[in-house]
Structures are given as C-alpha cells and as structure tokens.
Amino acid sequence: MEENKSEKLKKYQAIFVKLKEQDFPGSEQLESDYKSIPDRKKANKEAEEKAEEFFKKYGVGNRLEINRPLERMEAYELLLDILITIDAKQFKNIHKGTPYYFFGWTTFQLRDFSKAMFYMDAAVNEDLKNDDIKNKKSTTPALDFFLLPRKFEQVPSGVSDHLKLFEIIKQTLKKYNADGKSKITIEDFRSKFIEIIVYSNDPKERSLLTALYTFLLEYAEKEKQIKIRSDTGGSIQPFINHLFDGARLLESLLTIKGATGKGLSQKIESLSSTGNLAVPNLSVTPFSKLFHQNSWPNSLADAEPQYSCLDASGVKFKDKNFACAYIIRNATGHSLLSDDIFDEKTYNILYNSLVNSIFWTIDRLWLH
C-alpha cells in the first residue's frame, strides 16, 4: 500500500536530518515554498532561480568524497515523489536540473552508469530549456559532464565522475588512434560529434551519447565480473547485454546517418559505396568478400576466431572490426543461451571490435 503524503514527509525529514546534519525547515514550509515557485514558461529566469533555491534548501546534496550515495539518491527519489504527490502539475512546470544532476552524480558513484546517464541527461534536458544555455552562451555542470571538461580546473566543484568519463574517452581515443592509425582529437570529437548530438533539436538523439558513455564505462565492470566469476561459469546475461548494447549503438549511429537495409551488414554496405568519394562513407569491404560464401558465421563463439583469422591474414583494420561487430550483433540479438566463451582475452577482443567500429563510424561520418 502506497504511503500518504504525511508519511512520506515524515520519512524524508528523518533522512534530511541524518544526511545534511541540520534541522529540517518543516513540511508545511516545504509545501508552501514549492507551490510558490513561478511557472518557468511565464517567468523563466525567476522560476529557475526560485527552483534552485528550493532544491538547495530542501535537497540533501552530495559531498566530494563518496558519502552515502545510495541514501542520497533514495532521498532525492523520495523528495521528487513527495512533490508529485503535492502537485503533479507544478512538478512539470518547475526547473528540476538540480535534483536530476544529484541523481546522476550519486548513481555514478554507485557505478550504476546506465541510471547515471539517464538522470544526467534529464538534467541536460531541463537546462536546455534556458535560451542562453541552448544558444551556448552559458553552461551547467550536467552539460559539462556530457561535453567533457576542456580543462581539469573547469570540473565543477571537483566532481570526480567528470574526470573519470573524460579519462576513459581520452584513453579510448588514444588506443583507437594507435590501432587504426587515425588522428581523432578530443577537441574534434567534442565539437563535431558530442555538441551536434547534445544540441540537437531532437532530444532522443542524446540516447546515442548516453549509450556510448554507458558502454565505455561499463567495460571495466564487466571485465571485473569475468575475472572473479565462479569457476563453473553461470549467467552470461550481463556480458551478452553489454555487447548487444554496443552493437545496437553502432547500428543506431549508421541509421541516423541514412543507412538502409534490414540488418547490420546491409546498413554497413549502404554507407560503404565508393561511387562518390566526396561523400563521407565507411569504405568497409562487403562481407561477402571476407566470409566464405554461404557460410557466414553467426555464433558468438565464431566472433573471436573469425577476428583472429582475418587479423592474421592481413585484413584491414576497419574490415576485421566490422566483421566481428556484425557477428556480435547477430548472436547477441537473438538469445541468452550462447556458448560461454567469456574470458578476459576474448571479451577484450569482442569489446574492442565494437569500440573500433563505433569510432570508425564517428570518424568517417561525423568528423570527415
């Protein structure tokens, strides 16, 4: 049975006092202050300022050192639930960038990266309602998180998650450039890809960024799970899902750039035409020339051996990676009962083939 408003407020007051170590302003005062926040559509700047003041006063905040992130996350969930209970219409009208940002920050500290990206994106969505931010005249902590900090000293309040994401992107690009003999700079990646997605008129396109960041951030978690898993194996669902997310991201990047066809192979081929070299394209060799006719590999167990075989035969960087990505997409998209081929070496090869295919796509279709 769902708790009523007074029960929720009583619970929140106890959490507030515990985490913020100060007296709670009062339930009646909270309700009064909440209802007094102006409608942002009628008074944009004043409404945002009042909302910021409200969440600063009644939110539990966070600390630079990891300090009870689960309790703080749950506190913000409870606070927003209380506000919806008080007045659902007002909840839609007020600026909620602050609580969403703290949601993202605390869940990042919990290493729930998918949830962290969801709430960071929600904060960005709120922030982009401000014309100055939408027109790139100013920025916010959540927006800086997505755009990657240009300098370490620009990280808001020393929030370590900004640096962690920045370092992972930087190291991923460094490895991709070395392996693929490419020259993607983080500045080009930011200005020609990230900013295009973040400031798109279609908010759902940011799913490409949340998916990319989550995929890269979760690799270390999956690598750790493989390393310490039971010696008799067990569930492979986390690894199947992670690889599928990477393959689906790759397919989505191709789709948004106009790829056609039913499956990943057709979409890759549709953007690999060499008929017009002035048009950016993938330039990937058709799989019919890479795989033996009538015996295209479809099992996940085929992915690593196929990659290694193509690598040993001197196949180009782009071709061996896209070929492996194609196998991963087919195998992980249909069943959770694939062969358990997961060890650290194999998983690293499969993961990197997806990363290389993703960044090759971004390089060729966005940065060229």
Place of tokens 């899902």: 241
Helix, strand and coil in the chain, % to nearest 5: 70, 0, 30
- Considering the entire predicted model, what is its pTM? 0.91
Distance CA 132, CA 114 (A): 28
pLDDT score recorded for residue 42: 65
pLDDT score recorded for residue 274: 60
In sequence order, what are the residues at sequence separation of 6 or more whose Cβ sits closer than 8 angstroms to the Cβ of residue 65?
none
In sequence order, what are the residues at sequence separation of 6 or more whose Cβ sits closer than 8 angstroms to the Cβ of residue 320?
307, 310, 311, 353
Per-residue pLDDT of the chain (368 residues; tens, 9 = 90+): 467 899 999 999 999 999 999 999 999 999 999 999 998 776 678 888 999 999 999 999 988 778 899 999 999 999 999 999 999 999 999 999 999 999 999 999 999 999 999 999 999 999 998 888 999 998 888 998 899 865 544 444 445 666 788 889 999 999 999 999 999 999 999 999 999 999 999 999 999 999 999 999 999 999 999 999 988 888 999 999 999 999 999 999 999 999 999 889 999 999 997 655 555 789 999 988 888 765 678 799 999 999 999 999 999 999 999 999 999 999 999 888 888 999 999 999 999 999 999 999 999 999 98
Short-list 141, 104, 149, CA closest to 122? 104
pLDDT score recorded for residue 162: 65
pLDDT score recorded for residue 288: 86
Short-list 205, 211, 325, 318, CA closest to 257? 205
Asked if residue 331 lies in contact with residue 303, where contact means CB atoms within 8 angstroms, the answer is: yes
In sequence order, what are the residues at sequence separation of 6 or more whose Cβ sits closer than 8 angstroms to the Cβ of residue 20?
60, 61
pLDDT score recorded for residue 152: 43
* 67 phi/psi in degrees, rounded to 5: -140, 95
pLDDT score recorded for residue 84: 96
pLDDT score recorded for residue 43: 60
pLDDT score recorded for residue 158: 46
